[in-house]
Structure 1
């Protein structure tokens, strides 16, 4: 199996295969490649989280489906979908 491409520049939902490959120690991947992939994933997630500046950004990302695989409490999901204030 080939080493997956680095995760830089991808949306949050695109990290699943890269993260699975990175943490799958049965996957034959040189240590340096695994480390670069992990650093790339952490950098991209950090930039993504850092780019969220407020409630509107959260709502836009929710509507875009970025949190589709995440567990979100029902009351918070209603707020994100309905536009009520989070504070």
Structure 2
């Protein structure tokens, strides 16, 4: 229980704050359904904050190169103090 209070909860709070920052940044830039935004986050999380060429060409083909760059920067900024994962 002590580990949960001292480590797990603070880590979860950091993740949620980072995710909220990322989500708000994307929503301010682009109108995107929640499901698509979650998929976008998952792709970035899996690829160390970069959107793969396959994802850009397929799932996110409507994003401009400038939007992709800005989204990657948002992700990096939001998760610069967090591992980007919640356990």
| TM-score, normalised with respect to structure 2 | 0.35
Please say which structure displays the higher CA radius of gyration: 1
Higher helix proportion, which one? 2
Q: Normalized against structure 1, the TM-score is what?
A: 0.35
